[in-house]
Structure 1
Amino acid sequence: MLAACWLLTGCPSPADGEPEPTTAPTAQALPALPTGASTGLPAYNGPPPDAPPSLGPLLALRAAVDLTPATPGVFARAQWAVAAPDGGAHVVLTPADGDLPQQLVTVGGVSAGYSITGVVAMPRVVDVWGMHVLPDGAVVVVGDLEEGSSYGAVVVDPASGTARTTAVVPASDDRLSADGRSALSGSTLYLFLTVQTGSGQLERLAAVDLASDVAPTVRDLVSDVASASRFPISRQFGGLVPRPDGGVTLAFDASPTEDAVLRIPTLLRFDARLEPVGEPVRATDLAEGGEIQAISGGVDGTVFLLVEVRDATWLLAVPDGGGAGPVLAQLEDRIYDYALAVEPAQVWGLLPSPVGVRAVDLTTAEERGPLRLECGPNFDVRQVLTAPGGAVLLGECDDPREDTQMLWLLGP
């Protein structure tokens, strides 16, 4: 497919009679950016041979946990969650009253009866962009830090409440809005952020070892993004996936032509030093009109993508070091395609549905479910996360009361 070319210089103004000959230089076109899918690289061939056994479709409800008792007498919204090693989860609850501290809530696994086992106050993170668990069990909450001077992480001991703040990228005085996503590999935190400022868009990729005092590594993404897109990433990002040998893959919708709404789901890969690896990878062709709705990562670095195209939603997979390949599943539902979790075996994926969640076999495209959550006339599943031996859902419903903040724990 040909990339669009745009003239930078115009024609001379018409004059009376015949136009005079001109010696002006020939109009120059913008450098062409690729608009076809990256099919020249190895395609995804299914689960890796060393993958763990599949658990099957995770459609059994183990527990539905009402988070209201964690903040008695105070309405607080469940902002983000992360699965815990014991099969439970940690949740950040943000009170509606901005003068009150955020709470880190721990819901225990099967040995604790899937009940709330701990609530500790934590320094406020104005906007949470991600949550992770370090090897020592500490919880990492990533986002726009309370003082408004930086973007980074708060590391909280969920048992004692001891917390420390790590600033990664300073905030500019003229910022208008900011958003980002994070990924964790061992003790290394990767942070992508996009900031609208009075002087333009600022986009950075950073890495910091949370177990040491070494200063963060920060990369300006202007040239990297420009190799795939005429426009900054801004709100068109999908997220980050750790790579198995260090580094991270950044997924976003690139706009390779002068029309910003014509997009291609695109991957940029970086090594542990945040140096780019290879060329941008395009998961679809420009003509397919694809836009990323959700991503999930495999332990081998595979990036799983839910991509809306013109008439459906495609579930795609791009292996680490590879390129575009076949559609794993085509879903007719274009509303409940905003979240995706893929089990470590890379056989089953889990997605929201109008009544709860549904499972999709990534090897056959078979759909199972849905699991009906049965929690009132209105409910919302905001996050779908993998967990040891199952999955975690975060959201809210109107039972037993309106806007009840809920955590659901699923198994096979």
Structure 2
Amino acid sequence: MIINYIGPDDIIRKKQEYLIPCVYHFYKKPMQIVRGKMQYLYDHTGKQYLDFYGGVSVMNAGHCNPEIIEKICSQIGTLQHTTTIYLTQPIVDLAEKLFQITPQTLKRSFFCASGSEANDGATLLAQLYTKRHKFIAVQQGLHGRTRLTMNLTGIPMWRTDPYPLSDIVHIPAAYCYRCAFGLTYPRCDLTCAKHIGDIIKNDDFAAFIIEPIHGNGGIITPPPEYFQIIREILDKHNVLLITDEVQTGFGRTGEMFAIEHWGVIPDIMTMAKALANGTPIGAFITNDRIASAYTRPGASTTGGNPVSATAALATIDVVEKYQLVQRAKELGDYFKDKLKTVQQSHNLIGDVRGKGLMLGIELVKEDKVPAAEETDYILEELKDRGILAGKTGISRNVLTFQPPLIITRNNIDQVVETLDEVLSHTQK
């Protein structure tokens, strides 16, 4: 089959003419991606790229995974859409499966089409249950594109709303490399966690929403005691805990859900992205008690449609069948050790952090000055050498790795060797 690709220049021309300007892209010299196969992507010239960003933590089971695609195609050919006002089986089978794989008491799900919707719905549920209206979020958090979730987001570049809501308070993240309180772990006595107690005293807060690991915030990973302290304070004030697992879910961090690393059960959990391995879907899940507050009729036209629900079931099946959670842990430990070895040879790497296959290296100059330009250069050079990574952080100076969980040790070695070479050129 002969396909005439229009190429990057014409795509950019059409974007500039027909899309809203906020739709941006990576790279000074971008490529047109036309095909994917497991951990690889291919551009319009046939060049192969090792994808170590996974569509921003989406393709946990790999691009165009044949076992998932087969089930999606079968469902599309049978029944594509009805909405939730009619009875179909995939949506309830998926809800049952989520009950089986999420932490303990979480049982009742609501399905939508994106992570933004999931977070928006979770906050609504928190308000219905607590009969309170305020929220606490994190300065380095990202929660979506709806008006509410954009305001819950703390990262300035993603908060484009010129009229922010006044019912949201942001607190500093557990960012040990750049502690907002000028302290050092563990002598800090987890001041960042205990600070939330000062915020919620005698006020009308419904919930605290947080990503267990802040993806776009720069792979910020809290210390072991953090969530236990948070949980105790929230329980004391009857404030709910919402964990946003949109980026961290379905094996990404070496647990099925990242919050499991900290041994805490959230009141509400949200998910999307890797839930259906690229097929649009979002969901939030809670316990029986909290779910009982949401009784007025609610629906999502495409939420939990037969195709998306089937894709999610197929994805979870692949994650379990091939033990991708354990694979992410083992390969993540291997990758992180390799990155720390590279760090010893390059002063540009200030910090290596993350869990499983959700890792980031913060690039800095003297006195921890963010090396944003260097990050852009390295990202471009890796791309030219056939490797795709991401960049995150408030200052856009964190090189981020969130590959499909089906990668190999040889893939990791290739990335590490190439990164080491690029860093050597960068620092000359």
| Short-chain TM bin | under 0.3
Normalising by structure 2, we get a TM-score of 0.24
More strand by share: 1
Greater Rg by CA: 1
More helix by share: 2
